[in-house]
């Protein structure tokens, strides 16, 4: 990874941590102890970004592992992607349904 790409990724992680009231995970993705990029009280977040304005690849294995990691920590798994100048959030439909139900109460 080039220095410029690494800086953009680190900036994305820092912004995500601030947005969700969490903290970045030291050495995220490089070991078994601190998996994924950001941890908050409620969420475990994996960031993905691309400078390609049209597409990004999301792997089912990455989503599955993120959800496993989050479940072990009693957190909700979120994948936040930066694509085309915008941030988007992906979460499992069961987790989304829980938020809908909580909002209806």
CA distance 77 to 15: 17
Q: How far apart are CA 40 and CA 18, in angstroms?
A: 10
**Strand 43-49 to strand 38-39: parallel, antiparallel, or no bridges (unpaired)?**
antiparallel
34 pLDDT above the threshold of 60: no
Residue 57, CA distances (Å) to 21, 49, 82 in order: 27, 10, 11
Instruction: Give the model's pLDDT for residue 1.
Output: 64
- Pure H helices in the chain: 3-20, 60-72, 93-104
Question: For residues 74 and 68, what is the distance between their CA atoms, to the nearest angstrom?
Answer: 10
| Residue in 11, 46, 9, 39 with CA at minimum distance from that of residue 24 | 39
Please give the model's pTM, rounded to 2 decimal places: 0.84
Share the mean pLDDT of the chain. 88
Which residue ranges form the domains of the chain, and what is each CATH number?
Answer: 3-104 (3.40.1350)
Q: For residue range 37-92, what is the model confidence (pLDDT) as tens digits?
A: 899 999 999 999 988 889 999 999 999 999 999 999 999 999 999 999 899 999 99
Does the structure show a pLDDT above 60 at 32? no
Confidence check: pLDDT of 12 > 70: yes
């Amino acid at each position: 990874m080039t220095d410029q790409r690494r800086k953009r990724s680190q900036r994305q992680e820092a912004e995500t941590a601030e947005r969700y009231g969490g903290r970045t995970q030291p050495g995220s993705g490089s070991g078994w102890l601190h998996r994924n990029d950001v941890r908050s009280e409620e969420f475990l977040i994996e960031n993905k970004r691309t400078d390609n304005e049209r597409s990004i690849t999301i792997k089912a294995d990455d989503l599955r592992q993120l959800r496993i990691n989050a479940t072990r920590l009693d957190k909700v798994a979120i994948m936040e992607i930066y694509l085309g100048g915008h941030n988007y959030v992906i979460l499992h439909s069961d987790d989304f349904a829980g938020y809908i139900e909580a909002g209806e109460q």
